[in-house]
Structure 1
Amino acid sequence: MFCFMPRFFIFKDLNIGEHTGISGEEAHHIARVLRYKKGDIISISDGKNIEYTGLILDIDIKGPIIEIEIIDKKNADPIRPYITLYCGLPKGEKFEWILQKNTEIGVSEFVPMITERTVANIMPSKSEFKLARWSKIVQEAAKQCMRINIPEVREICDFDTALSKTGDCQLTIIPWENERETSLKDVLKYKGRGASKVAVFIGPEGGFSEKEIEKAVAIGATPVSLGPRILRTETASFAVSSIIMYEIGDIGGR
């Protein structure tokens, strides 16, 4: 019977035959939770696009510290399309849910935004703590869903700054409840094929203002309808990412 081998992250550039050590939370998980032993094989990623296979040479339980030898190394195919999710910061812990679930779907980059109708307020003194927490959430989510790479979580920015970052995207989508003519389905059908980089803008609880939509259209973004129902911020982000990955990505098989 086939079973998945858990994957661990070690942020190093390694070569076949090289020895290295794993410590901290990853070592604890290997030795004390999964109870791996000397001679076992583990899968490791550099958090980007390289997958290693490691042979456990020794386990120091007191550390714990795991000594491994790299016995295989290969480049993994990157996730396509590369989706950057620009998300108006929602209240409470909703953004953490957005990070976790969209990491599983295949989003490659997250940019939290402050928009006209953003209610959430993160004090500058806490932004560094928040960013560290968010980065840990996407790392754990990537591990859980067996991703090779860990998505990037960028610093909080305003809406105008976010728009300025989309220049290299072949497709920029901004769901808007007042859009009546253009559907997400149509945009992906006629504009999405061949797009390797996609930007998705999701508004906060109050949605985007007309002025923000005008600014987005001015830089080439396409307002789209998600249908007759109004979706919550966290639901919209997950729905749009899922649809994109199904239509032009790898959900459902290539």
Structure 2
Amino acid sequence: MRYTESDLVSPTLEILLKFPEGANTSFLIKELTERLKPEGEDIEILSGRKDTNFSQKVRNLKSHNTLTRKGLAKYKNGTFIITQKGRDYLQQGYKILSQALREQGFTEEQRDSEFQEDYKDLVIEEGLALITTGDVKLRKRSRKLVQIAKQEFTVDGKIPCRVCQFDFLDTYKELGRGYIEIHHLKPIHLYSKEGEKRQIEQALKLLIPLCSNCHRMVHRDRKYLLSVEELTRIVNS
């Protein structure tokens, strides 16, 4: 499999996280080559150059401003240094998205396009019935959707509960960074056996972030799913 420039973003940020003093392009080429072990076309030498296809893609992180344009790293005196946004990027699972796109058979061009477009056209499938035995149904939730939702709901590194505004980072410090539960406004048992496919923008509108306590209160009565508006009125009364 050929690596794309966007495939290199997460592993590059992981290296910068490990070396907070920063890293230059030559160091990144060495580290990424050891980690990702490129093969095939990626290790072919470019015509008239000393670079391989792979090392050129690493260099393009600078020439295309791939990291700095999105605020994931800053570049000064020939060195990349990870930013807080870059740390949040890793925390919220963009690399899971990249891996998922690769596993689903997206082409090199499609993966780059999804990265540049902030995955707004990604199609998510929810509610597929995996096992049906009598009245017992196990349904598949989309892990990708939850990961993307957490990133979308993050503001300045925090993900407050939509009902009570509790934030795990404020209370539990670094241990709570990036933690929140995701509530489906449409209960998953209401999906058809075949599940549903939605574009990511549509799917995100059916999700909200809730702290553990509020999430349990919403689902406490199995016969009547409390709405978020109802629970908010209770909390604020």
**Same fold by TM (over 0.5)?**
no
Q: Which has the higher helix share?
A: 2
Task: For CA contacts below 8 A with separation 6 or more, give which structure has more relative contact order.
Answer: 1
Q: Which has the higher strand share?
A: 1
